[in-house]
Amino acid sequence: MLDSALAQRAVDLRTRGSSHGPITRLVSPGDLGERLKPFIFLDRFEVAKGGLPPRFGMHPHSGIATLTYLIYGQTAYEDTTGEDGKRGVLPQGGVEWMMAGGGVWHTGAPANTERVLGFQLWVAMPPELELATAYSLYLEPESVPQAGPARVLLGEHEGQRSAIPAPSDMTYLAVHLKAGENWTFVPSAAQSVAWIAMGEGTLSAPARLTTGDLAVFDDSGSPITFVAETDVVFMLGSGALHPYELVMGPYSVHTTVESLNRGQAGIRERALLLRAQGRLG
């Protein structure tokens, strides 16, 4: 760990996003996603104990991967990967990785009456992966490696590597600190993109950030030191800048118009199968 005096990477931008019920959109491909790519979309979701959970229904993706992390609570999931698809319940501390590739459909919703808090991230794929066969991975909490206070969801940190294959040089961590603790993150040499999203609590980084804030750091690649004022949990993304355009369609992001059209065709093909199975109206 570095001395905090050596790590004073500046906060360039901060936002609290826009909220719609229990979901707060912090990053979209058409706004901050351009600055933060390969991290191109981020939702913070929170449902109070006994609250009405959002219902998304089956919806498609192509050209990206989604990563969902549950800080509290559990969610049910269903997807169309494999021969018969996958269904189950993601527990507290679990991770869902959905690599949409050339087209996939999935859904999910909180599965209990306790408080639910988590984040869903979209990751942009390079050309060699944006039309690959879709697949999903569901990691139980004990399968998520940990380095100090950081749970390694994607990439590698301090010798701990996620079981999820990162599509490029990136690190995505869930960090839990107790009040008064400090922790320094040191990115790899190529990782100029860096941001954090506050799950709950208050910290200094060195700007003061609290529950619901998203902060974007400058592109110097310097370390970042965090000092917790209260018990905190936050998400940290760090990566090499995605060098491709973001070509967008409904629920899809690709690198070219041609690949977007192919991804949309793949989505339509899978929709026909879902309707034949009675899983899509």
Q: What is the pLDDT of residues 227-256, one digit of tens each?
A: 999 999 999 999 999 999 999 998 999 999
- The CATH fold assigned to 4-12+22-276 is Jelly Rolls (2.60.120)
The Cα 260–Cα 274 span in angstroms is: 21
Between the alpha carbon of residue 238 and those of residues 125, 187, 234, the distances in Å are 15, 7, 13
Would you report the helix, strand and coil content of the chain in percent, each value rounded to 5? 10, 45, 40
The 10s digit of each residue's pLDDT in 86-139 is 889 999 999 999 999 999 998 887 777 788 999 999 999 999 999 999 999 999
Q: By the 8 A CB rule, do 150 and 235 touch?
A: no
pTM of the model: 0.94
Is 7's pLDDT higher than 60?
no
What's at 280, amino acid-wise?
A: L
pLDDT range class, residue 4, cuts 50, 70, 90: very low
* Residue 279 backbone class (left: φ over 0; alpha: ψ -120 to 50; beta: rest): alpha
Q: By the 8 A CB rule, do 144 and 90 touch?
A: no
Task: Pick the range with the lowest mean pLDDT from 34-38, 73-77, 124-128.
Answer: 73-77
Cis before 38? omega within 30: yes
For 244, the 3-state DSSP assignment is coil
Is 3's pLDDT higher than 50?
no
Residue ranges of domains in the chain: 4-12+22-276
